[in-house]
Amino acid sequence: MNEEKITIKAEVRKSCLTQRAALREEERKTKSLIIQQKLKDLPDFQKADTVMLFLNFRDEVETTDLAEATIACKKKLVLPRCAPKGILLPLEVSDLAADLEPGAWGIREPKLTKEEVNPLEIDLVVVPGAGFDLQGNRLGYGGGFYDRFFMRLKPSTPRVALAFECQIIKEVPVDKHDAKMTKLITEKTVYDFNQ
């Protein structure tokens, strides 16, 4: 990736994160509940036996209740742990209180003692991001963790992003290694990029 593209991505990322941070806490909580329900209503979620989620950090869409609901539905919950060299470890979690610890950057992550799940067994991946466009492109946080991880999934595995409507931009600057999302859920609607 060239320096100009890196700079553009950093500027767009900063703008998207500023928009997200401007949401009031009450507004963020209300919108998060709507987004969580939309995900739970998705056939992709309902038929999935193994679901990989992210646990919200800072002002992301809240997902802790979603993780609890996934466990309560008797689905296998997989959460990511950041490992060296930009690798995401998909680890199984059955108890949020006992199985987590603060990881990289203070993000709640599964303990290393948890069992690693084969990415080919994951039926649905729910993804965070800084910004999105309506062509299915995702602007991550700059580490490339998810883009590398997506290559380890079955090609048919749905990649569903959760974001607030204010994180949608006209066009995400992309590179050839950037993976598209299959769906994006906001408080407004479910955008389906498979159609």
- Full 3-state SS string of 14-47: HHHHHHHHCCCHHHHHHHHHHHHHHHHHCHHHHH
**Is there a binding annotation on residue 86?**
no
54 is in an annotated binding site: no
For 59, counting Cβ atoms within 10 Å of its Cβ (0-12 exposed, 13-18 middle, 19+ buried), the class is middle
33 CB-contact burial (10 Å; exposed 0-12 / middle 13-18 / buried 19+): middle
141 is in an annotated binding site: yes
109 is in an annotated binding site: no
Q: Is 131 annotated in some ligand binding site?
A: no
What is the identity of the amino acid at 8? I
Considering only CA atoms, which of 153, 160, 121 is closest in space to residue 41? 160
User: Is 55 annotated as a binding-site member?
Assistant: yes
Is 103 among the annotated ligand-binding positions?
no
Q: Any binding-site annotation on 12?
A: yes
Q: Does the annotation place 179 within a ligand binding site?
A: no
According to the annotation, is 144 in a ligand binding site?
yes
Among 119, 89, 117, which Cα is nearest to 103's?
89
User: Is residue 139 marked as binding?
Assistant: yes
Interatomic CA distance for residues 64 and 148, integer angstroms: 24
Measure the CA–CA gap between 64 and 191, rounded to whole angstroms: 23
Please check if 142 is assigned to a binding site. yes
Residue 9, annotated ligand binder? yes
Residue 106, marked binder: no
Binding-site residues, in ranges, read 9-13, 55, 60, 138-146
Binding-site residues for ATP, in ranges, read 9-13, 138-146
Binding-site residues for substrate, in ranges, read 55, 60
